[in-house]
């Protein structure tokens, strides 16, 4: 989550060079960070219960969403660089 927040701030740094489209990158990374922040307590609770029961379900949805956010950020970045 902190990595996404940091990267979203770095994206904002390129606003003067790339203009408003960079806000899309900021929105995706900051949105992903916010989603992680607002769900981490629930996931942490589920994990600690799972460790106590010695049975933790793999959090496949979170993994797929995080990877998808990375792919979207990359795709938008390529689009912005090529269009600039």
Partner 1 sequence: MTNSEIPGGAVPPSRGKIAERLLPGGEEPDPRFTLANERTFLAWIRTSLALLAGGIAIEAFTADLFLEAVRKGLAVVLLLLGMLLSAGSAVRWLRVERSMRKKAPLPLPLIVPLLAAAGALAAAVVLVFILWR
Residues at the site binding partner 1, with contacts judged by CB under 8 A = 3-4, 7, 10-11, 13-14, 17-18, 22, 25, 29, 47, 50-51, 54-61, 63-64, 66-67, 69-71, 73-75, 77-78, 80-82, 84
For tokens 């990877």, what's the residue? 67
Of the candidates 64, 12, 76, 2, the residue with the CA atom closest to the CA atom of residue 33: 2
> Closer CB to partner 1, residue 31 or residue 84?
84
> Closer CB to partner 1, residue 38 or residue 46?
46
- The angle at the Cα of 27, spanning 39 to 46, to the nearest 5 degrees, equals 10
């Amino acid at each position: 989550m902190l990595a996404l927040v940091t990267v979203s701030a770095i994206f904002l740094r390129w606003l003067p060079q790339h203009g408003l489209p960079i806000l899309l990158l900021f929105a995706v990374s900051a949105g992903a960070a916010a989603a992680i922040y607002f769900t981490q307590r629930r996931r942490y609770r589920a994990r600690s219960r799972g460790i106590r029961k010695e049975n933790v379900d793999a959090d496949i949805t979170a993994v797929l969403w995080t990877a998808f956010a990375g792919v979207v950020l990359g795709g938008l970045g390529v689009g912005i660089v090529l269009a600039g």
